[in-house]
Chain A
Amino acid sequence: MLKSYIARRLLNSMLLLVAISMLSFLFLEIAPGRFLDEMRLDPRVSPDTIYAMRQQRGMNDPLPVRYGRWAGGALRGDFGLSLAYGVPVLNLALPRMRNTLLLTITALVLAWVICLPCGVWTAARPRSLAARLSGPFTSLLLSVPELLAAGILLLLALRTGYFPAGGMFSPGGRPAGTIRAVADASRHMLIPVLILTLAVVPLLLRHVRAALESASGAPFVQAARGLGIPERRLWLRHILRVAANPLISLMGLSVAGLISSSLLVDVLLGWPGLGPLFLDAVAVRDTPVVISVLMLSALFLVAGNLAADLLLYACDPRIRTE
């Protein structure tokens, strides 16, 4: 039963990934402009030279051939050669993905650490001041554009001089010694993590609260309350367990966004993640890089959803009978 379920989900996910790659390939093909087009503006380079440079990169082949070449690379595991860098995309993407994940995972953990207790607190005391303020507070956070938050924080960094104004390490490269490297990197991470967390918290808090509130309204909770089970134990033992279902799905969704959520922040703050690589690749039409980053992001989405579903399957016996 479980095996066939997993097999079906895996097959679905594979099909989804193939569809995404084909669609994005097609999309990039439709978008006007090709790699090396900017050289057309340089009077010192002849169109023949540009043609030859494209020929060398296999850009003059028909679309199916180019897609096949990339897909072959993806199956081999190196995702093909980048047009601009001339090296396998995997070599480009891996170190940057590590940096991106460092940001997003930290922000995600932070957001859950904030939202879960806050959600329980406000759901358990719906009449408290905190609970009443949480609604307006989250919508205020939702209303502030990410761009504005980034701008204000950067300005703050500049004016006070306490925080670095971008990048991952101070000039001079990675400091010697693990402790100093970690300290330096975490100082640089402060602002981007703050922005990412602020972007996630309002929605997450709302969802957590909604899940807990609906769980606390269940008939068995009323019954338990009637039986005199202490409120504290009721929340921690029973309500949280009932609310686990939607929470796990939420967690899956958060994992799914691990790559794509920070692309903009990467770019705004000069973080050496996938963002600048991706945006640059879109700009210069470096198709293999664009597709591969999209695929990585889709891979996380699929994996996140799959993991959430499997966890649900393990936790909730009702699903197994479906």
Chain B
Amino acid sequence: MRTVPFAVCVLCIWLPAAGAPPADGARGGRLVYAQRAEPKTLNPVTAIDAPSREVIRRMTGDLITVNRRTQRPEPNLAESWTVSKDGRHYLLQLRQGLRFSDGHPCDADDVVFTFQVYLDEATHSPQRDLLMTGGKPMQVRKLASHSVAFDLAEPYSAPGRLFDSLAILPRHLLEAEYRKGRISAAWPLQSAPERIAGLGPFRLKRYLPGESIVLERNPFYWKTDGKGVHLPYLDEIDFLFAGSEENQMLRFLAGESDVLNRVSAKNFKALQTEQTRAASRLEDLGPGLDYDFLVFNMSASSGRPWFRMREFRQAVSLSIDREAIARLVYDGRAVPLWTHVTPGNKLWVNTALPRPARSVAAARGKLAAAGFSWDREGALHDPAGQRVAFSIVTSASNQERTQMATQLQDDLKQLGMNVQIAPLEFRAMVDRVMNKRQFDAAVMGLGGGDGDPNSEMNLWLSSGATHLWDPNQKTPATPWEAEVDGLMRRQLTAMDYETRRKLYDRLQQLEAENLPFICLASPNVLVAAKSTLGNFDPVNVDHYTLWNVEKLYWLPAHSGGSR
């Protein structure tokens, strides 16, 4: 084995969990989990939909996991790792005695094979972009049977996060498919269970088309509890395909499913009134990472010059009754937002920013100062005399966003703006906003699993494709966008948290001043489970409830687990 020719700093930090430490449970029982939609595949390389990933995550293992409770990287299949001082070289040590769920041993060859597959352009894996630094793929070398080296073209500021959720693949089952160029067609839902193997706590038992996927305990899973009992505690997980949030609710209320992963505030309220019947535990975990916002089309081609006027956006922001959105749309289970980083993102939120209260008078003052005027009927006209009228597109299937848009319409009427709402089918809306750029304004939501600024590179870079208000700019259109570009690039390669945090604080300050999108609210993460589910420790980031599935168990009082 070659010695590693650089100074190493150990980044493996163990932090105590914020909640109670997990209790030692009892083995046995079945957990029923109703999914919103049917998964499309069991292939971790090509899966793109949330239901597929929900299932695949329970069947596979990654090298380093970000603990969803502490938000810190934790050893998983790699028992330790080191990072070079320049942040470009990683050395990972695999655990001894790892076995796939079919009993086949796992070593460095599997890891090298896995990264070869993900990084191969011909595989078309959506995860490939995450493994690129400075536009180049990372290099992966086997050093010994249980140690692997990774070389990056540029330093990456969030070591460990690179490896999270990247499922290690069994070379013995998939290499032949890969050589034939058929890796992306491997492991469809109908696969025979013995053809699929992973390093997660569960493995495939049975698939009923349109109905359910049943996973059973992986007898070769490496993790043990405090007493040395092999995890997971549960014998089986049933993933039922409910089809809609309403059906998920129904299954839970009827006692057929045991966990509700995320429910809307209105449904949560209904759960509270029915709680006694289902003997369930409801938890409001506070705001998650999602943010709802109003975004204007600031491209030069939009034909609405006011969208590019900062005073206009500030006036709009001042006129919005965010409290009413939190109260009416989310039944009080949301926080009003002024920038896109939610209070739920404790590591990164800038709490020093002002939160101007709603004031129609102040908003009108801003508009008047910028040369806008009102006619006798109270309608707003821009400095050129054009009537201020525009439409807001939103996703028709999302009741909350439609309601938000309706309230915005009412708020903006106070300023004399004539706003139409166009609820569109979700993909039609995405097409308008992202591809065709034929829209005035949109009410949308973003967020999700990762609170780290690195996941937002393409959102903030003025050249980014998801720079919603004016994407793919050749050169930054405004000075503040140029500054944001610099801030994001610098934080991507800065290696310590404090530096990155300062850069990101400045970004949020620029965001609050210039309002490229006008943030509205962040809904609380609301979950529920049967009260007899032990070690149930939901968190406010994806995956909310099943992230510690291997430790879940049924308390003795439970009678339904072994139905």
Contacts and interface: CB of A to CB of B under 8 A. Distances in A.
Direct contact of A and B (CB under 8 A): yes
A270 B251 CA distance: 10
Contacts of A165: 247, 250-251, 253-254, 256
Given A32-B427, A40-B434, A171 B32 contact: yes
Given A43-B456, A86-B46, A52 B121 contact: yes
Contacts of B30: 171-172
Contact of B427 (A33, A47, A99): A33
A270 B427 contact: no
A210 B126 CA distance: 61
B430 interface: yes
A31 B444 CA distance: 21
A37 interface: yes
Interface string A44-65: 1111010011011000000000
A201 B150 CA distance: 68
A283 interface: yes
B82 interface: no
A167 B257 CA distance: 12
Contacts of B49: 84
A154 B250 contact: yes
Interface string A275-305: 0110010011100000000000000000000
A22 interface: no
A166 B247 contact: yes
A7 interface: no
A161 B274 CA distance: 13
Interface residues of A, number: 56
A176 to B, nearest CB: 12
B427 A283 contact: yes
Contacts of A85: 40-41, 188-189
The secondary structure that dominates the B interface is: mixed
Residue from A45, A53, A169, A269 with most neighbouring chain B CB atoms (10 Å): A45
A44 B41 contact: no
A164 B188 contact: no
Contact of A33 (B247, B430, B466): B430
Interface in B222-257: 236, 238, 240-244, 247, 250-251, 253-257
Interface of A: 31-34, 36-47, 49, 52-53, 55-56, 84-87, 91-92, 95-96, 99, 154, 157-158, 161, 164-174, 267, 269-270, 272-273, 276-277, 280, 283-285
26 contacts: A33-B431, A37-B430, A37-B434, A38-B427, A39-B126, A43-B456, A43-B457, A49-B128, A52-B121, A86-B185, A158-B250, A161-B254, A165-B254, A166-B251, A167-B240, A167-B256, A170-B563, A171-B256, A172-B238, A172-B563, A173-B212, A269-B247, A270-B241, A270-B244, A276-B37, A285-B427
Going nearest first, the 9 A-B pairs with the smallest beta carbon separation are A272-B210, A33-B427, A165-B254, A43-B458, A95-B209, A165-B250, A33-B431, A40-B434, A272-B211
